[in-house]
Amino acid sequence: MALVSGGRRLPTQAQQERDAGLRRVRTITWTAAVGAAALTAAAATIAATTIPGHTATAATSSGSSGGDTVTPPAQSIPSDGVQAPQPGGGPPVVVSGGS
């Protein structure tokens, strides 16, 4: 090994090859991470635009004039006094111990 001014050694051929390999691995890893993030963003965008779900604006009824009020249908309570759960009415209730 040859000495450089200041007492530092020049890297050997093996060290240079190792360093070049590490640079290649670092570049490949960074490129793969950026590519994965881009593909994830693209998949999320596609899923958000194609899968049905909630809309950003409120739905309006066609053919109705302004000021009309929509009333929900009347609910009947069964004779046993227990009302069936309504969709979207809150968190589910769990009753245990019955047989």
Contact 12, 18 (CB under 8 A): no
* pTM for this predicted structure: 0.44
- Which tens digits make up the pLDDT trace of 8-25? 788 999 999 999 999 999
Q: What is the pLDDT of residue 4?
A: 65
Long-range pairs for 84-93 at CB < 8 Å and ≥24 separation?
Answer: none
Separation in Å, CA 8 to CA 3, 4, 11:
6, 5, 9
Least confident residue range of 20-24, 33-37, 81-85? 81-85
Separation in Å, CA 71 to CA 33, 68, 74, 75:
53, 10, 9, 12
Q: What is the pLDDT of residue 23?
A: 97
Under the banding of pLDDT at 50, 70 and 90, the label for residue 63 is: low
Q: What is the pLDDT of residue 80?
A: 72
DSSP state letter for 77: P
